[in-house]
Amino acid sequence: MSTTTTIIFLLLTTITTTIPTTHSKPPNYPCHPPHNTYPFCNTTLSLHLRAHSLLSLLSLSDKINRLSNNDTGIPHLGVPSYEWWSESLHGIASNGPGVSFSDGPVPAATGFPQVILTTSSFNRTLWGSIAAAVAVEGRAMYNVGQAGLTFWAPTINIFRDPRWGRGQETAGEDPMVASVYAVEYVSGFQGGRVEMVGGGKRGGRRRVLIDGGGGDGGGEELMVSACCKHFTAYDLEKWGAYARYNFNAIVTKQDMQDTYEPPFRSCIQEGKASCLMCSYNAVNGIPACADRSLLQKARTQWGFNGYIASDCDAVATIYEYQNYTKSPEDAVAVALKAGTDINCGTYMLRHTKDAVDKGKVEEEVIDKALLNLFTVQLRLGLFDGNPLKGKFGKLGPANVCTSDHKKLALEAVRQGVVLLKNDNKFLPLQKSSVSSLAVIGPMANATDGLGGGYTGVPCSPTSIVEGLKRYVKKTTFSSGCLDVACTSNAGFAEAVSISQEADFVIVVAGLDLSQETEDHDRFSLLLPGYQTGLVATIAAKSKKPIVLVLTGGGPLDVSFAQHDPRVASIIWVGYPGEAGGRALAEIIFGDHNPSGKLPVTWYPESFTKVPMSNMNMRPDRSHNYPGRTYRFYTGDVVYGFGHGLSYSNYTYNILSAPNSLKVIKSLKTKSNNILQRKEGLHNYLYVDELEEHCDSLRFQVEISVTNHGPFDGSAVVMVFARAPGSFKGAPLKQLVEFERVHTVSYKDTKMTILVDSCKHLSIVNKFGRSILPLGDHTLLLDGIEHIVSIVM
Ligand X SMILES: *[C@@H]1O[C@H](CO)[C@@H](O)[C@H](O)[C@H]1NC(C)=O
Catalytic residue numbers, as ranges: 311
CB of 253 or CB of 353, closer to ligand X:
353
Q: How many CB atoms lie within 10 A of CB 69?
A: 23
DSSP 487-540: ---TTHHHHHHHHHHSSEEEEEEE--TTTSBTTB--S--SPSTTHHHHHHHHHH
**Closer to ligand X at the Cβ: 332 or 446?**
446
Return the DSSP state at 386: -
Pick the stretch among 16-24, 41-49, 485-493, 571-579 that binds ligand X (CB under 6 A).
Answer: 41-49
Total residues belonging to the chain:
792
Shortest Å, Cβ 629 to ligand X: 25
Q: How far apart are CA 385 and CA 29, in angstroms?
A: 7
Q: Which is nearer to ligand X, 732 or 754 (CB)?
A: 754
Among the listed residues 71, 141, 143, the one whose alpha carbon sits nearest the alpha carbon of residue 108: 141
Answer yes or no: are the C-beta atoms of 210 and 192 closer than 8 Å. yes
Site for ligand X in 122-141 (CB under 6 A): 123, 125-126, 129
Question: Interface with ligand X includes 708 (CB under 6 A)?
Answer: yes
Binding segment toward ligand X, per CB under 6 A, in 12-20, 121-129, 146-154, 307-315: 121-129
Please write down the HEC assignment for all residues of 201-234: CCCCEEEEEECCCCCCCCCCCCCCECEEEEECCC
683 binds ligand X (CB under 6 A): no
How far apart, in whole angstroms, are the C-alpha atoms of residue 755 and residue 696?
Answer: 11
Q: Least distance (Å) from ligand X to the CB of residue 11?
A: 9
Q: Dihedral of CA 557/560/561/562: which sign?
A: positive
- Whole-angstrom Cα distance, residue 452 to residue 441? 17
Residue 602 binds to ligand X (criterion: CB under 6 A): no
Nearer to ligand X, 507 or 790 (CB): 507
Q: Which of 89, 50, 79, 83 is nearest to 69 (CA)?
A: 83
Q: Is residue 246 a contact residue for ligand X (CB under 6 A)?
A: yes
Q: Least CB distance from residue 597 to ligand X, whole Å?
A: 12
Check binding of 455 to ligand X (CB under 6 A): no
Q: Rounded CA gap, 426 and 420, in Å?
A: 12
Instruction: Indicate the residue among 649 and 660 with the shorter CB distance to ligand X.
Output: 649
If binding is defined by CB under 6 A, does position 323 make contact with ligand X? Answer: yes
- By CB under 6 A, name the one of 714, 757, 765, 770 that touches ligand X: 714
Contact between residue 301 and residue 276 where contact means Cβ atoms under 8 Å apart:
no
Q: How many CB atoms lie within 10 A of CB 619?
A: 18
Least distance from ligand X to the Cβ atom of residue 171, Å: 16
Query: Residue 44, interface with ligand X (CB under 6 A)?
Result: yes
445 counts as binding ligand X under rule CB under 6 A? yes
User: CB-wise, 72 or 789, nearer to ligand X?
Assistant: 72
Q: Which is nearer to ligand X, 509 or 663 (CB)?
A: 509
How far apart are CB 45 and ligand X at their closest, in Å?
Answer: 5
Our CA dihedral for 311, 317, 319, 324, rounded to 10 degrees, sits at -80
The site that binds ligand X (CB under 6 A) totals a number of residues, namely 24
| Contact call for residue 73 and ligand X (CB under 6 A) | no
With CA atoms as reference, report the closest residue to 596 among 537, 643, 541, 549: 643
* Of 37-45, 288-296, 655-663, 752-760: span binding ligand X (CB under 6 A): 37-45
The verdict on 72 binding ligand X (CB under 6 A) reads: yes
Note the Cα 657 to chain centre separation in Å: 32
Closest approach of Cβ 757 to ligand X, in Å?
27
- The whole-angstrom separation of Cα 442 and Cα 481 is 6
The distance of closest approach from Cβ of residue 742 to ligand X in the complex, given in angstroms and rounded to an integer, is 4
By CB under 6 A, residue 497 contacts ligand X: no
Nearest approach, Cβ of residue 777 and ligand X (Å): 28
Asked if residue 198 binds ligand X (CB under 6 A), the reply is: no
Rule CB under 6 A: choose which of 16, 651, 653, 752 binds ligand X: 651
**Nearer to ligand X among residue 292 and residue 350 (C-beta):** 350
Say whether 430 sits in a helix, a strand or coil: coil
Residue closer to ligand X, measured from CB, 649 or 700: 649
Query: Which of 347, 477, 633, 727 contacts ligand X by CB under 6 A?
Result: 477
- Residue 462, preceding peptide bond in cis (omega within 30° of 0): no
Compute the least distance from the CB of residue 36 to ligand X, in Å. 8
* Residue 187 near residue 223 (C-beta atoms within 8 A): no
The span from the CA of 166 to the CA of 554, in Å, is 9
Q: Is 411 a residue that touches ligand X (CB under 6 A)?
A: yes
Residues in contact with ligand X, shown as a per-residue x/- string from 728 to 767 under the rule CB under 6 A: ------------xxx-------------------------
Residues interacting with ligand X, by CB under 6 A? 42, 44-45, 70, 72, 97, 123, 125-126, 129, 246, 322-323, 411, 415, 445, 477, 649, 651, 708, 714, 740-742
